[in-house]
Structure 1
Amino acid sequence: MNTKKENVALKWIANISFAIISLIVLFPIIGLLVSSFRPSSDLMRDGISFTIDFSNMNVDNYMYIFNEASQYWSWYGNSLMISGMTIVLSLFFSSMVGYALAMYDFKGRNLFFVLVLLILMIPFEILMLPLYQMMVSAQIVDTYFAVVLPLIVAPVAVFFFRQYAMGLPKELMDAARIDGSTEYGIFFKIMLPLMGPSLAAMAILQGLASWNNFLWPLLVLRSNDMFTLPIGLATLLTPYGNNYDILIAGSVLTIIPIIILFIFFQRYFVAGLTSGGVKG
């Protein structure tokens, strides 16, 4: 009986602790959301505040974005396009590389995997200059491909898919070969569906990284019409005018795609991370 009471007490303590942690995590977002309904004069005077004054709150900032800030939606579309391309191409190529490293025994396999780990350890800031020179040589600067190309085979995604694929049964591959299936058929028709949880987990992580990416797009995108949201919102703050009202309201709207992405894949997210972390 005492054990049962102790379990109930521990459960309540755990739930309360997680609730407090959730509030701490959500605290900045709540402040951002409240401030997005405040006029520009209040923001310039008090900054981001958690004080809710209904008499002084309005939706003018959002009305301006929806009715007059056409450039904002151009940035939004660019971010959606780049993030969508990054997710699809990264999942496709990285899953193939990780699957090959896990399931096939070929000469130099371990060396390739070590190289993946070494690249994973190198800060991106060191790779920026040679990558930028490659984009200039290929004459694709100021295009979507210049932003997406260096990210389609991400080392962290390759490592993640390799670890997950090592837990898949190789007997299925042998059975498919006996039935006359090609190696590509085995991957796309049998193995890739089994890697669904890992694909969903990595879709969220890659989508989040691409959506928030600032430094690399800043280097390769030059025209205002090609800017992504992080770059475009940063241009609102200048020595000649600080549009904090539009910046904050626009920042709130940028959260929506990530929330939708997580809701869509969240049922597979935990399973994908757990399996990829313990198998192999």
Structure 2
Amino acid sequence: MKIQRRFSPVGLATLLFLLVVGLLVFIPFMFLIISSLQDASLIFSKGLTLKIDFKVADLDNYKLLFTHNEGIYWVWFKNSVVITFIQTVVVLVLCSMVGYGLALYDFKGRQLIFGMVLVMMMVPNDILLIPLYKLITNLGLMDTYLGVILPGIVPPATIFFFRQYAIGLSKEYADAAKIDGCGEFRIFWNIYAPMMKPAFGAMAILTSMNVWNNYLWPMIVLRSDENLMLPAGLMTYMTPYGNNYDIVFAGSVMSIIPIIIVFMLNQKQFIAGLTVGGVKG
């Protein structure tokens, strides 16, 4: 027997609203793809358009992107992949452990630490640029991967999210594991970490996206051309003496692909993590 699904007026209106919002979000992305397939001069002569002229559409911009300056784009791409992967893994490990500890353990100073996390969430990152710059300089980490990664390994918002998610987990699992002789780290990694999989999926997407798109801090720390990340590297083509929009458009399209892959691999956990983690506590 086939069951027909009926939409209520509110549900139908919500669906139509989301379709309109999705279309508005997708239009700039389509413009970016179309612009990457044609000469930049045509964009400024004809204006913004979503029509594809197949007579002038080609992959010359991508060929120029991959061969320009001895293929330095791939060097920037590699830098972004390495930094994003390392920082995302470290953030997930450290923040999940901190959030788990704040949620499931009673110890002196717990509320003080959680209060500090909340305060740090209210502090704009731009205020910390000068002290962070002095710290990285004193540590001799300028123009290194570690100089980019180190200041962002324990973001307070990620700690808060893991803490809110872990609040809904039962402490009885830990008590039973302790009776069986499990240590604290084993309890976390073997018992609670699998139960926090939706939170890991959601934070993996958000963290990797933030690191991948980060422009200001890597631009300050990384000074040599071969160490730049993609956002800063692509901006070097925008100069007072000429703008290589052809390369920028093609490079921007290529830079979106890794984030799409990360989202596709974690989309179920992302939705479940935001839904559950956002209402617990």
Task: Give the shorter-chain TM-score range.
Answer: over 0.9
Q: Take 1:245 and 1:44, find their aligned partners in 2: how far apart are those partners?
A: 12
What's the RMSD between the two structures over aligned residues?
Answer: 1.6
What's the CA shift string for 1:20-43, capped at 9, x where partnerless?
A: 111011111111111111113213
Alignment of 1:1-280 (within 5 A): 7-46=7-46, 48-68=48-68, 70-280=71-281
Q: In structure 2, do the counterparts of structure 1 residues 135 and 47 end up closer, same or farther at CA, with 3 Å as the change threshold?
A: farther
**Kept after mapping to 2: 8 A contact 1:120/1:156:** yes
SS in 1 for 2:50: coil
Q: Take 1:80 and 1:158, find their aligned partners in 2: how far apart are those partners?
A: 23
User: In percent, how many aligned pairs have the same letter?
Assistant: 47
Structure 2 unaligned residues grouped into runs of 5+: none
Q: Does 209-218 or 32-41 show the bigger shift?
A: 32-41
Q: TM-score, normalised by structure 2?
A: 0.94
State the AA in 2 paired with 1:196.
K
State the AA in 2 paired with 1:132.
Y
Please state how far the C-alpha of 1:7 moved relative to its aligned partner: 3.7
SS in 2 for 1:278: coil
**Kept after mapping to 2: 8 A contact 1:43/1:245:** no
Q: Take 1:266 and 1:117, find their aligned partners in 2: how far apart are those partners?
A: 27
State the AA in 1 paired with 2:66.
F
Please state how far the C-alpha of 1:277 moved relative to its aligned partner: 1.2
Q: In structure 2, do the counterparts of structure 1 residues 272 and 35 end up closer, same or farther at CA, with 3 Å as the change threshold?
A: same
SS in 1 for 2:170: coil
Q: Take 1:6 and 1:278, find their aligned partners in 2: how far apart are those partners?
A: 28
What's the CA shift string for 1:213-246, capped at 9, x where partnerless?
A: 0111111111001100010011101122210011
Q: TM-score, normalised by structure 1?
A: 0.95
What's the CA shift string for 1:126-177, capped at 9, x where partnerless?
A: 1111111110111011111111101111100100011111111100000000
Q: Take 2:158 and 2:28, find their aligned partners in 1: how far apart are those partners?
A: 29
Q: Take 1:83 and 1:92, find their aligned partners in 2: how far apart are those partners?
A: 14
Q: Take 1:52 and 1:103, find their aligned partners in 2: how far apart are those partners?
A: 56
State the AA in 2 paired with 1:269.
F
Provide the aligned length of Structure 1 versus Structure 2. 277
Q: In structure 2, do the counterparts of structure 1 residues 83 and 19 end up closer, same or farther at CA, with 3 Å as the change threshold?
A: same
**Kept after mapping to 2: 8 A contact 1:44/1:244:** no
Q: Does 179-188 or 66-75 show the bigger shift?
A: 66-75
**Kept after mapping to 2: 8 A contact 1:32/1:48:** no
Q: Take 2:269 and 2:118, find their aligned partners in 1: how far apart are those partners?
A: 26
**Kept after mapping to 2: 8 A contact 1:142/1:226:** yes
State the AA in 1 paired with 2:223.
R
Structure 1 unaligned residues grouped into runs of 5+: none
List, as ranges, runs of 4+ consecutive aligned residues in structure 1 with deviation greater than 6 Å.
Answer: none
Q: Take 2:202 and 2:9, find their aligned partners in 1: how far apart are those partners?
A: 33
Q: Take 1:45 and 1:171, find their aligned partners in 2: how far apart are those partners?
A: 68
Q: Take 1:7 and 1:28, find their aligned partners in 2: how far apart are those partners?
A: 30
What's the CA shift string for 1:99-124, capped at 9, x where partnerless?
A: 11111111110000000110110000
**Kept after mapping to 2: 8 A contact 1:164/1:195:** yes
SS in 2 for 1:54: coil
SS in 1 for 2:55: helix
